[in-house]
Amino acid sequence: MQLFVRIVERRSFTAAANDLDMSRSAASEAIAGLERRIGRRLLQRTTRHVAPTPEGEAYYQRCADILAEIEAAESAAADATPRGLLTVDLHCTLARHFLLPRLPAFLQRYPELKLHIGEGDRLVDLVREGVDCVVRAGTPRDSDLIARRVGLLPEALVASPAYLADRPRPTRPAELAAHALIGFVSSATGQVLPLEFRDAGRVVEVRPSTRLTVASADTAAELARLGLGLVQAPRYRFEADLAAGRLIELLPEFAPDPTPVSVLYPERRQLSPRVRVFADWVAECFASPEI
């Protein structure tokens, strides 16, 4: 059942076999035996693709439920000790600032847990790619995932002293129309994100002129240090620059609502003790950001 479920999720015999530390030939033989025993073809195979048949899809749904119950029962009997491989995908800057410095203590706390870490900010198909959970900033949009909020990131609008040297410092969001924005392009929409503020209890969006657009928040921050425009991002990115005077925070009294940080995981894996202890640990990291 574990092998069959993994093949359906990964759409690959090879990937599923690697995940379960077995050979591809052994995986093929096991599935062939399963289909003979059931008397139905469960998987459609081509040279490039594997997909469940209608009977296989129904069998997959039942197997996934059964395996989740087995894992929950075994975890309860073993005092919920997490063990095995946990595959996570982390927002790279968040990981380096909040999580990676504390990772040795996490691994020491759970010595039977193995961890594979991917880093990115793209949309991840957790089931297809064999990822147990992801950590992302922003409001989750995928209704097929369980989202556990683990932190909030205050936002800041910043510019360098060089940029502000020959421009009037804004006192209200409306005055930003005369300024240059270093535009951050959303990976979800492909559009430049507007600046957001909270003014008199309501959310206000401002879209200054944009000569430079980027797909990396780190690049946007570096361009702001070089005096090429305004940047709005979670404040933790700029704390060292603000303390050193390399950047100046603008309109802090109009700061928008903090950006949520969530651990997201497939609904069928919500009982996994591996994901549960990892999510608890991530929440601890954001609750006490200082090392």
pLDDT in tens, 39-80: 999 999 877 789 899 999 999 988 988 887 887 777 666 666
Predicted local confidence at residue 49, as pLDDT:
80
Q: Which CATH architecture has domain 155-257?
A: 3-Layer(aba) Sandwich (3.40)
pLDDT at 283: 94
Quickly state the pLDDT bin for 270 (edges 50, 70, 90). Answer: very low
What predicted TM-score, i.e. pTM, was given to this entire model? Answer: 0.72
Strand 248-250 with 155-159, pairing = antiparallel
Please name which of 156, 154, 96 lies closest in space to residue 121, comparing C-alpha atoms. Answer: 96
| Residue spans per domain, the chain | 2-77, 84-152+260-287, 155-257
Q: What is the pLDDT of residues 132-178, one digit of tens each?
A: 889 988 887 766 788 899 999 999 999 999 999 988 899 999 999 88
Kindly report the CATH number that applies to the domain delimited by 2-77: 1.10.10.10
Paired tokens of 38: 């059931």
pLDDT, average across residues 80-108: 89
- Topology match between the domains 84-152+260-287 and 155-257: yes
Token duo for residue 113: 């847990």
Q: How many residues does the chain have?
A: 291
Nearest to 278 by CA among 74, 132, 64, 127: 132
Task: Please report where in the chains the tokens 């995908």 appear, as a residue.
Answer: 89
Mean pLDDT of the 266-277 span: 73
Say if residues 279 and 198 touch (Cβ distance below 8 Å). no
- The topology under which CATH files domain 84-152+260-287 is D-Maltodextrin-Binding Protein; domain 2 (3.40.190)
